[in-house]
Structure 1
Amino acid sequence: MATHAPYQLDLDNQKRNVFVTQLHDRDDEEDITAFPVVKESGDKLIETGINTLQKTLLLKKEVEVDKVNAQLEAKRYEFKQRMETCSHRQIQVQKKQQQMKDRVSKFEKFIQENEAKRRRAIQKYQQEVKLREQKAIEFSSLHDQLQHYKNRLRKLEAKAKAYKIYEEYLQGVIDAMPEDYLPTSEDKVKGLMMRHRTLSESNKGLVANLDDISDELECCRKELELLTEEHQKHHLSDTSQLSQLQGKKEEVKDCNEQMEQNFQMNKGEMRKKRTETGIIFMAIDNIYDKCKKSTDPVLGKADWDTKLNRIRDYLHEREGVVNFVNDTSSSASGSASFDGMRGRSYSKSNLKVTGR
């Protein structure tokens, strides 16, 4: 292991403390701290030191106050000088402002003209700027159109170069075709293309028409199937109804035959009843002729209800007259009863005659 050097303490040269007892100078006075020799007692020395300290502080404060006052006076003088300078400058500025106002009032017309020129120049500048922007936009659009047309020209040239083969082919077709097949024109290739376009459009129209006809045929076929089914259904229903009607016909025929047989059997009785009915109708006509008035209208043979009503009214009238006569007088009642008996006998005789 390595050995370390021992620690050392370096100190500065100490000053020697020497009491000042000699008045002459010494050579080593710089390195000596001098202590004054005090001959007074301790308490007196303390009292003297305190008084000396207060007086010293007071003197220091007075000195500081004098310095501050002197500085204050200097600042006041400096401020006064500055204020005078400022007032002088303010007066000069006011004079300059007045001069400027005079100049402005003198050259106001010139300034207005310059302002008008400036405004016109600004307006012209703005118009020129707008015109320049418009021209720039037009230039850019025209440049874009030019580029577009150049690109289109290149594409068309490429297409023309690619379609050159087809042109040669069409020219060969024209040479191989008869002379009268195409109309006489300067450009036979264009005529051939128009002919092809016409035939192509005709073919498309025919194909479309064929599709439409096929669709219509399919619809008609479906309608025919539906109509056939409906016809079969109606045929079945009609057949069933016909069978029912035939059954009813047979029943009606049997019923008619039965009724005809009954009619033949009851023919004599019906003739007898018809005769009796005719006699009754003739009796009603005879009685009506006796009961009707001269003012009554002429009735037909079929108005049996009206005739019977007229006979009933006549009998009611006669009955009322009889009752009235019976109530008036007894003598008249005898004669009236006699007349009534005669009338009744007369009516009975008429009925008998009519019955005969």
Structure 2
Amino acid sequence: MATSSLPILNSNQKLKMEKGSQNIFVTQSQDTRQRTGETDLHIPSLKETSCRMLEAGVNTLQKSLIVKKQAELNEAEAQLALKRQEFKSCMEALAQRRSELEKKQQQNKEKVMKFEKFVAENEGRRRTALKKCEATREENLSKQRQIEDLTEQLNKLRARKQVLMKRIAKHNIYEDFLMKTLDYLPGIFHDNGYESLVMPVIRRHETLSITHQELLERLRRMEAEVEQGHRHLQCMKREHSIKELMAHKQLSELQSELETLRESNKQAEVNLLTEQGVSREKVEEVGRLLIAINNLGQQCYLPAYGPLESMDTLTMMDMVKEYILDKADTERRARRLMESSSAVASTAALTDKRWRGSMKSIGSKTHIKSSSKVSKKSETFN
């Protein structure tokens, strides 16, 4: 522990401390000394041994450390309480700010809703105004067209008025002439007689004018009919040309088909002539076959089949077949007899040869035996 830094004291040495003086140890730091001075811890002066003093110093050091730690703990608790108070105040301020923020958000939402409603109303008003403006524009255009049409009609009427005024001015001389003539006429013509002479002329003029208008209208209708007839004639000409082209096309197709049919007919005629030549050859071959069958029937005639003149071809061929089979059977039997006779002769010759061979072998054996005996006798004699 920290007691190693303390000075060594004798067992008989005693420390004298005055009452009211501070207990300062070597192991204490300056801060601890100041704090112990601040806490006013006074240790009574005692006269004890060194061991007791050391123990007391150690206990005092531990107590001072505990006091120091307790002071630090109190300071930390005070700081913690202060921090808690600050945190609580911060949380309260945060809650207040949050409530204010929620209020502001609610107000902003209300403002946004009002603004959106205002924008929607303005959009609806704008669309209504645009529709009204478009309708007004179309109405103005229609009115402008009507004004232009009416202006054109007015100009035409003014031009017609000018023409009529010129015509009236042109015919005024005739009116003046008639009025002067009327002035020079006697009084008799100023009565009903004048009207009776002039009115038929006027009515005749009106009738002729009406007839002229009717004739002009009829002429227009006839011109329209003639124009329609011309158009119809042009359509008929086009249709006729199209039909003529189609007819020419069909005619060319039919001509090509005719050429094809002619070629096929020629090929068919060639094939027919070829087939006729082949059939003629076949007829000649069949005739030769029939003649050969008749010749064979005459050569292979069997009375069991009846007369030869009334016999058909198949029966004649059956007769020839039966005749040939009989001949083959007879020939087979003859060959068998000849083979059996030749086999008997060959067996007899073979037995004769065997007998002669056996006789020759027996003679040779006896000759050999006799010669061996003679040789033995000669040897014995020698």
TM-score normalised to structure 2 length = 0.26
Q: Which has the higher contact order (CA 8 A, sep 6+)?
A: 2
Structure in which a larger fraction of residues adopt helix = 2
